[in-house]
C-alpha cells in the first residue's frame, strides 16, 4: 500500500520504534512506581527519561511538567476541563479539530462558559488581531491549533502567544500536526499548555499523548481523572505534585518507550528536514492538480506557511468516492471527508462532503507520488 494518511497516524514507524517496543515488552514491561523490584524501577526510569527528553526538546521549564496521556484528545480534555471555571470566556478558531471544539461547545451548551470562535482567512491563517479583538474581561483561555489538519496552514502562534501573555491569560496550543515537524519552544512562544499525540510526527504508537503544564497553569489545573499513582498511596485525594496530579492510573509505559524511540528519529533527522521533505511532495501534487481539469486545491500557496498536508476535491467525483477508488483499485491510502474539523470545511465551502487529504511522511517516495498522480489522471480521464 502507498500510505498517504500520516496526518492521522504516521506509518510506517522508524524501524527503531518497533525494536524499542519489542525489547521493552520482553524485558521491562512492569508497572512503573508500583513496586521496588528491578523491572518496576526500570519502567519508572523509562518515564523519567522520557520527561527529561521532552523537556529538552520543547524547552520546558522542568521535566515534571510533562504529563503522559491516552492520546492528544485526552491531553486537550485535561487542559480544557482542568483550567476552566464556570463563567469563563474562551476564544478559539474555526480551524480547530473536534478534540478542541467539542469539549468547548459542550461546556458552552451546558451554560458553564461562553465561547467565541474566530474565523480564519481563506488560506486558513488566523490573524492575531482577530484573536485580540475577541478577548473580553472574562476571557481565561485562548485555545487553538498550531497547524490545520485540513489546510496545513501554520498559525502565527508566536504573535498570538505574546498578546495572550500580555493580557495575563492562558494559551493552549494543539500541536497534533506540528510536534516533530515544526520546532516548538514552549517558553519562547508563551505557551502555557501544549498538547499533542505521540502517534503522528513523533512516530510513537497509538495510545500515547503528552500535555505540558506551564507554571502559569499549574495552580489552576484540576485532574481529569483520579486514582493510583504508585507513590503516595496514603493521601485520600490525588497528590498535588506534578506529574502524578494529572496521571491517575497506570501509564502506557510501553507506548512511551516507543515514543522516545520516535523522538530519537526526529532529533536525528531534524524537524525542519522532515517537514521540508513532506511539503516538497505536497507541492508536486498541488502543482500537478492545478494543471488537471476539474480539481480544486485548498490551503496557502506559499509552502513555507504549511505542514505536509494537502486537501483537494474534484468537481464531478465526490471525495468519498475518490478516496474509495484510490484505496480499492490502486492500493493508495488517503483521507476523504471532514477530517474531524467541520467548521473549516463550512468556511471553505466543502461541507458536508469534505475533501480528499493527502499527507506524506518521511518514508514517502517520489515514485509513490508519481503513482498517486497517475491514478488520479486515470480516474478522472473522460469525466
Could you tell me the fold of the domain covering 2-10+270-380?
A: 3.90.1150
Residue 237: what pLDDT?
A: 82
Query: For residues 9 and 32, which has the higher predicted lDDT (pLDDT)?
Result: 9
Q: Tell me the pLDDT of the chain averaged across its residues.
A: 96
- For residue range 150-159, list pLDDT tens digits in order: 999 999 999 9
- For residue range 300-340, list pLDDT tens digits in order: 999 999 999 999 999 999 999 999 999 999 999 999 999 99
Q: Cα torsion at 124, 107, 178, 139 (round to 10°)?
A: 70
Residue 238: what pLDDT?
A: 83
Catalytic residue among 166, 190, 282, 340: 340
The pTM of this model reads: 0.96
DSSP 14: P
Can you read off the three cell numbers belonging to residue 208? 500515547
Q: Which residues pair with 170 in a beta bridge?
A: 141
pLDDT tops 90 at residue 249: no
Question: Which residue do the cell numbers 508563551 mark?
Answer: 190
- For residue range 100-139, list pLDDT tens digits in order: 999 999 999 999 999 999 999 999 999 999 999 999 999 9
pLDDT band, very low/low/confident/very high, at 231 (cuts 50, 70, 90): low
pLDDT tops 70 at residue 33: yes
Give the length of the chain.
383
Residue 35: what pLDDT?
A: 61
Using DSSP bridges, classify how beta strands 310-314 and 355-358 pair: parallel, antiparallel or unpaired.
Answer: antiparallel
Residue 34: what pLDDT?
A: 59
pLDDT tops 80 at residue 49: yes
The residue extents of the domains of the chain are 2-10+270-380, 15-268
Buried b or exposed e, range 138-172, using 16+ CB within 10 angstroms: ebbbbbbbbbbbbbbbbbebebbbebbbeeebbbb
- For residue range 212-223, list pLDDT tens digits in order: 999 999 999 999
Query: For residues 232 and 273, which has the higher predicted lDDT (pLDDT)?
Result: 273
Tell how many helices (H) and how many strands (E) occur in the chain: 12, 13
Do 302 and 286 contact (CB within 8 A), yes or no?
no
End-to-end alpha carbon distance in the chain: 26
Choices 3.40.1080.10, 3.40.640.10, 3.30.930.10, 3.30.1110.20: CATH for 15-268:
3.40.640.10
Cα distance between residue 253 and residue 319, in whole Å: 39
Do 88 and 140 contact (CB within 8 A), yes or no?
yes
Cα distance between residue 310 and residue 204, in whole Å: 23
Residue 233: what pLDDT?
A: 75
Do 216 and 27 contact (CB within 8 A), yes or no?
no
Give the phi and the psi of residue 310 in degrees, each rounded to 5.
-140, 130
pLDDT tops 80 at residue 356: yes
Name the nearest CA neighbour of 297 among 362, 215, 373. Answer: 373
Query: For residues 192 and 40, which has the higher predicted lDDT (pLDDT)?
Result: 192
Residue 340 annotated in active site: yes
Do 181 and 274 contact (CB within 8 A), yes or no?
yes
Amino acid at each position: 500500500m502507498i500510505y498517504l494518511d500520516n496526518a492521522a497516524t504516521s506509518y510506517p514507524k522508524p524501524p527503531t520504534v518497533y525494536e524499542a517496543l519489542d525489547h521493552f515488552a520482553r524485558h521491562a514491561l512492569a508497572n512503573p512506581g508500583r513496586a521496588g523490584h528491578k523491572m518496576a524501577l526500570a519502567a519508572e526510569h523509562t518515564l523519567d527519561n522520557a520527561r527529561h527528553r521532552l523537556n529538552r526538546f520543547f524547552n520546558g521549564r522542568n521535566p515534571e511538567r510533562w504529563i503522559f496521556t491516552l492520546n492528544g484528545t485526552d491531553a486537550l480534555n485535561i487542559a480544557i476541563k482542568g483550567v476552566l471555571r464556570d463563567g469563563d470566556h474562551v476564544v478559539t478558531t474555526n480551524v480547530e479539530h473536534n478534540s478542541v471544539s467539542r469539549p468547548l461547545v459542550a461546556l458552552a451548551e451546558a451554560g458553564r462558559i461562553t465561547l467565541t470562535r474566530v474565523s480564519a482567512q481563506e488560506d486558513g491563517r488566523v490573524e492575531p488581531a482577530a484573536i485580540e479583538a475577541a478577548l473580553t474581561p472574562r476571557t481565561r483561555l485562548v485555545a487553538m491549533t498550531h497547524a490545520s489538519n485540513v489546510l496545513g496552514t501554520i498559525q502565527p502562534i508566536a504573535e498570538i502567544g505574546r498578546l495572550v501573555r500580555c493580557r495575563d491569560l492562558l494559551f493552549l496550543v494543539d500541536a497534533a500536526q506540528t510536534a516533530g515537524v515544526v520546532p516548538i519552544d514552549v517558553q519562547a512562544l508563551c505557551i502555557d499548555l501544549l498538547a499533542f499525540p505521540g502517534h503522528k510526527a513523533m512516530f510513537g504508537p497509538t495510545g500515547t499523548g503528552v500535555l505540558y503544564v506551564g507554571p502559569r497553569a499549574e495552580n489552576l489545573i484540576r485532574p481529569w481523572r483520579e486514582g493510583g499513582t504508585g507513590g503516595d498511596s496514603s493521601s485520600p485525594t490525588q497528590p498535588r505534585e506534578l506529574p502524578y496530579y494529572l496521571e491517575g492510573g497506570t501509564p502506557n509505559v510501553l507506548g512511551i518507550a516507543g515514543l522516545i524511540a520516535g523522538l530519537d528519529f526526529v532529533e536525528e533527522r531534524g524537524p525542519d528536514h522532515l517537514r521540508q521533505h513532506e511539503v516538497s511532495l505536497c507541492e508536486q501534487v498541488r502543482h500537478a492538480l492545478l494543471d488537471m481539469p476539474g480539481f480544486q486545491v485548498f490551503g496557502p500557496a506559499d509552502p513555507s506557511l504549511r505542514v505536509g498536508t494537502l486537501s483537494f476535491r474534484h468537481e464531478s467525483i465526490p471525495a468519498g468516492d475518490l478516496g474509495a477508488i484510490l484505496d480499492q483499485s490502486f492500493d493508495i491510502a488517503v483521507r476523504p471527508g471532514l477530517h474531524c474539523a467541520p467548521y473549516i470545511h463550512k468556511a471553505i465551502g466543502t461541507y458536508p462532503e469534505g475533501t480528499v487529504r493527502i499527507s506524506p511522511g518521511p518514508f514517502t517516495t517520489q515514485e509513490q507520488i508519481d503513482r498517486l498522480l497517475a491514478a488520479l489522471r486515470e480516474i478522472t480521464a473522460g469525466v
